[in-house]
Amino acid sequence: MNERCFMLFPCALLLLFLLFFCFCCRGYRCAALSVHITLLFFLFFFVFYYRLSGGKGCRFVVYKMSLVHHFFHVKGGVTTNTAKNNTGSSDSGTAAETIHVAVQGCCHGELDRIYAACAAHEKATGRRIEFLLCCGDFQAVRDEVDLRSMAVPQKYCVLGDFLAYHRREKHAPYLTLFVGGNHEGSDWLATECYGGFLAPNIYYIGHSGAVIVDDCVTVAGLSGIFKGHDYARPYPGRPFHASEAAKRSAYHVRRIEVEKLRAFSQALERMRQPASSPVTASMAGPSASPSRCAGEFPHIDLFLSHDWPAGITKYGDETQLLRYKPFFEEDIRHGALGNPHTMTLLRAVKPRYWLAAHLHCQFEATIPHHDVENDAAAAGVPRATKFLALDKCSKGKGFIDFIDVRVSRGAHFTTEKNRERTAREQERVVHHPLWLEVLRETHGFLTSNSNEWSAGSCALLRLTPDELRQRGVWLLARSTASVLEALVLPPAPLQRPSAGGEWRPPPHAHERPVAKTVATSAALAPSAWDFAAEDLVVTEDTAGSPQFTEGEQEPKK
């Protein structure tokens, strides 16, 4: 029997029970006899249903109910193994506190429902949500032109809620950060592959990225899903909607994106090593502030991906997952459920939380890091990573969750400054200084996905821990154009507008990038290649309509 039968069968039996109970109460005036009949019926119901379902049905109902009521369940961002090491104050002596974060699975364009769920949670718990994380299939689509590059079945090829937020008819009530999935307007996201605000208060992390939110939490992400035949191939030429193959290849994870994140994590690990000599104020410069240096953000707190890391099911209740999604069994057995390259990335990054979606089900796991306990360079690194995957946005499902993440505020932080920054929404998200160095080094290999560069050859790894800590390119995360201008880089072919495109400025095109440099050997110079931010945002008017072909179906419901 399938899952729907397991849900409908007990409902039908309960209805029969109510009718039978009413008949008993009318036919027998003795209350004691009615109670006995009720108990016997319940006993018969559970025995019969258990045998019919092979022992699975009753547990499935309980599991399904847990998904429905999972809405208001709050998890701590600190695992049981690390809680004792992460209370009070941080190792640096800065004030520690807990922030409340909302996590969404697949969005599928239903922003209104997601924001309403967040508001209901705040009202029910009295807690303030700092920001919202969406794990892909966000569907940031502005019009019919963007729909052409979104790979979905024809019946789902519709404009969602995002359009109203992009047009400023509505305003996102929570800072929203998201990664891309396999149902996105890929052409537009390609022009913002280094990250950018696609609407006020809605930020795309990029094809891969690492940002600092509210001066206290580092969020990294990887967009897309894994397909082995495209992992080492170049990105297809744009516009992607010119062919079905290009439209689908566009959202497949490339090797260069994983290697960039691997290099970034290795640079963070090296930066955490003990200093060879005391860092003096003269090294940082007279205008340096500790909060404006890479050394203040030595860990990745939250990691977002759309796909699951392959092998993650071994660290959770795999048996229960297969009861809910039995067709996963073959992929799990062959190690093909998810991205085979991101499990090693998870072990290298060691985030407090790894958050994902894509498979339209809820799943939790805990991945221990046995190499942390005796490593002096791992101070503050969690001894385990909590993995959380959520369902798509749908009524009655566990599509959203809320986590508590312990963070440390720098000495510069005050409540007044926090309120001022929150009022200036765009200043809440900043590129991690070391991530900017990775982007600078890999920019020439982006579109070609060349294997000439790898994490092991990253120039950052040749710097001393002191030099890494003093990196201080402090760039507000506004758009890919602002990154290119600040780093004095021309747009890669992947980021360039296609010929004959329709020019449309992003929400903040009128604002120029803001960068502050502190004691870095690669100080920013005035841009030798001056261009307007709006020059990189384009939609094509090439004819074409999306068609859904076999080979990459949606995850089964």
Residue pLDDT, tens place only, 229-269 = 999 999 999 899 888 999 999 999 999 999 999 999 999 99
Q: 479 and 368 share a domain?
A: yes
**Nearest Cα to Cα of residue 302 among 355, 365, 358, 264:** 355
Helix (H, G, I), strand (E, B) or coil at 372: coil
Cα 297 to Cα 301: distance, rounded to the nearest angstrom: 10
- Torsion angle, CA of 391/393/397/402, rounded to 10 degrees? 70
Q: Does one domain contain both 26 and 78?
A: no
- Residues 113, 69, single domain; the answer is yes
Beta bridge partners of 213: 217, 429
314 and 269 housed in the same domain: yes
Q: What share of the chain is helix, strand, coil (3-state, %, to 5)?
A: 40, 15, 45
Kindly report, residue by residue over 519-531, the tens digit of the pLDDT. 333 333 333 223 2
Alpha-carbon distance of 331 to 334, in angstroms, equals: 5
pLDDT in tens, 168-209: 999 999 999 999 999 999 999 999 999 999 999 999 999 999
Q: Judge whether 547 lies within some domain.
A: no
> Angle between the 433-442 and 255-271 helix axes, to the nearest 10 degrees?
140
Vertex 36 angle, CA 35 and 42, to 5°: 90
Residue at 397 is within a domain: yes
Q: For residues 539 and 536, give the distance between their C-alpha atoms in angstroms, rounded to a whole number.
A: 10
**For residue 283, what pLDDT is reported?**
38
In a domain, 445, yes or no: yes
pLDDT, residue 336, reads 92
**Distance (Å, whole) CA 448 – CA 493:** 9
Same-domain check for residues 111 and 151: yes
Residue with the bigger pLDDT between 56 and 402: it is: 402
One domain for residues 40 and 88: no
pLDDT band (50, 70, 90) for residue 159: confident
Compute φ and ψ for 256, nearest 5 degrees: -60, -35
For residue 35, the model assigns a pLDDT of 54
One domain, residues 29 and 150: no
Chain centre to alpha carbon of residue 10: 37
Determine the Cα–Cα distance for residues 57 and 64; give it in Å rounded to an integer: 10
Q: Number of structural domains, the chain?
A: 2
CA within 13 Å, CB half, 526: 0
| Same domain, residue pair 252 and 108 | yes
Tokens of 60: 């499935």
pLDDT score, position 455: 95
Residues 40 and 164 in one domain: no
What was the pLDDT predicted at 155?
A: 81
Which of the four pLDDT bands, split at 50, 70 and 90, describes residue 16? low
Contact indicator for 441, 453 with CB cutoff of 8 Å: yes
Q: Which two tokens stand for residue 491?
A: 């747009």
Indicate if 203 and 94 belong to the same structural domain: yes
Between 65 and 485, where is the model more confident?
Answer: 485
Average pLDDT score over the chain: 76
For residue 554, being part of any structural domain is answered with: no
39: its two tokens: 């108990």
Question: Do the domain assignments include residue 441?
Answer: yes
pLDDT tens column, 46-100? 555 545 444 444 433 333 333 333 443 444 443 333 333 333 444 444 556 899 9
Q: pLDDT tens digits, residue range 105-126? A: 999 999 999 999 999 999 999 9
Looking at the predicted structure, is the pLDDT value of residue 416 above 80? no
The residue that leads in pLDDT, 136 or 13, is 136
Residue 281 forms part of a structural domain: no
Nearest CA to 94 among 305, 420, 408, 496?
A: 408
Domain that holds residue 13: 3-55
pLDDT of residue 537: 29
Task: Give yes or no for a contact between 240 and 323, defined as CB atoms under 8 angstroms apart.
Answer: no
Q: What is the pLDDT of residue 549?
A: 34
Residues 483, 505: Cα–Cα separation, whole Å: 16
Give the pair of three-digit tokens for residue 476: 């507000």
pLDDT at 506 over 50: no
Buried b / exposed e along 205-242 (16+ C-beta atoms within 10 A): bbbbbbbbbbbbbbbbbbbbbbbeebbeebbbebbbbb
Same domain (yes/no): 71, 34: no
- Inside any domain, residue 219: yes
pLDDT at residue 34 greater than cutoff 70: no
pTM: 0.74
392 inside domain: yes
Whether 9 and 140 share a structural domain: no
